[in-house]
């Protein structure tokens, strides 16, 4: 494997990348694993963790300062009421603060064409924000599915994905297949507006989506490229492409010129 460090397009200012956090309901703590910030920083960005505050004005004020938005993974599930369904018996716990923060930030990113990278839960919230729906529990609702919750070690590439040609992900992967880690029990079902499926597992589970419009950077993946990114070419390429997109001057990136 090529260990050469990949760097983004040079810029006079490192782009500010907002990364959504998690909420520990027992300890009332906003938190996130270190890997997201480290991967963004290595790709040339300045990471900032976004707290899940209920003050929407504060969140929008923060969003106005961002050059890119990274929707992180979560150990919670989106409220199925957001896509018009009743809760499945295997639905995990729901964190309304995370759902609300993701949806508000997604609304802002859509309005201003903010470069967006969604990871795991972040891909699911992107899909729901665009009118899509989710499989609430893969083992229960998709008989014969692969094991998508691999457990430790979390950086192990546990299954293959097939990548659509002529996609951003195919260019980043340098081919039509890759092996990825897997830590999820939900997945995209109905695909949201202006999204196209660009990767699937062999059992048909959707593993990546991109925006259908060419005037913005929107990529979301079901696996966790932030885990073990140092040793994985595709993971590094994903973060570099995202941070590079966020390096474009704000006025140009947001279509105001």
Cα–Cα separations (whole angstroms), residue 219 to 54, 56, 115, 209, 241: 26, 25, 9, 6, 10
Annotated catalytic residue within 159, 184, 185, 224? 224
Q: How far is 213 from 130, CA to CA, in rounded Å?
A: 14
Annotated catalytic residue within 120, 148, 185, 210? 120
Q: How far is 38 from 27, CA to CA, in rounded Å?
A: 25
Number of CB atoms found within 10 A of residue 200's CB: 18
Residue 112 designated active-site: no
CB within 8 Å of 170: residues ≥ 6 apart: 163, 164, 176, 198
- For residues 48 and 94, is the Cβ–Cβ distance under 8 A? no
Cα–Cα separations (whole angstroms), residue 128 to 79, 115, 139: 10, 18, 21
Residue 148 designated active-site: no
Q: Where are the beta strands (DSSP E) in the chain?
A: 16-20, 22-24, 29-31, 46-50, 68-71, 116-119, 134-135, 159-163, 177-180, 187-188, 195-201, 206-211, 218-221
Annotated catalytic residue within 107, 149, 226, 230? 226
Residue 93 designated active-site: no
Q: How far is 67 from 171, CA to CA, in rounded Å?
A: 23
| Residues forming the active site | 120, 224, 226
């Amino acid at each position: 494997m090529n260990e050469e460090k990949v760097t983004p397009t040079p810029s006079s200012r490192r782009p500010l990348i907002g990364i959504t956090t998690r909420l520990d309901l027992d300890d009332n703590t906003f938190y996130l694993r270190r890997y997201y910030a480290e991967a963004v920083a290595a790709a040339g960005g300045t990471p900032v963790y976004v707290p899940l505050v209920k003050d929407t004005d504060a969140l929008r004020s923060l969003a106005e300062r961002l050059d890119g938005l990274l929707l992180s993974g979560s150990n919670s599930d989106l409220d199925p009421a957001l896509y018009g369904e009743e809760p499945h018996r295997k639905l995990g716990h729901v964190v309304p603060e995370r759902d609300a923060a993701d949806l508000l930030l997604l609304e802002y990113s859509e309005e201003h064409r903010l470069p967006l990278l969604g990871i795991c839960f972040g891909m699911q919230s992107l899909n729901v924000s665009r009118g899509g729906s989710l499989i609430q529990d893969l083992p229960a609702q998709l008989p014969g599915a692969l094991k998508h919750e691999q457990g430790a070690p979390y950086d192990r590439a546990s299954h293959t994905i097939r990548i659509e040609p002529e996609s951003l992900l195919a260019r980043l992967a340098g081919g039509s297949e890759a092996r990825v880690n897997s830590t999820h029990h939900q997945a995209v079902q109905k695909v949201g507006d202006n999204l196209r499926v660009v990767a699937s597992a062999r059992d048909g589970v959707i593993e990546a989506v991109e925006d259908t419009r060419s005037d913005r950077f929107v990529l979301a993946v079901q696996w966790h490229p932030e885990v073990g990114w140092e040793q994985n070419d595709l993971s590094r390429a994903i973060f570099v492409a995202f941070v590079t997109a966020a390096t474009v001057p704000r006025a140009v990136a947001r279509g105001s010129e």
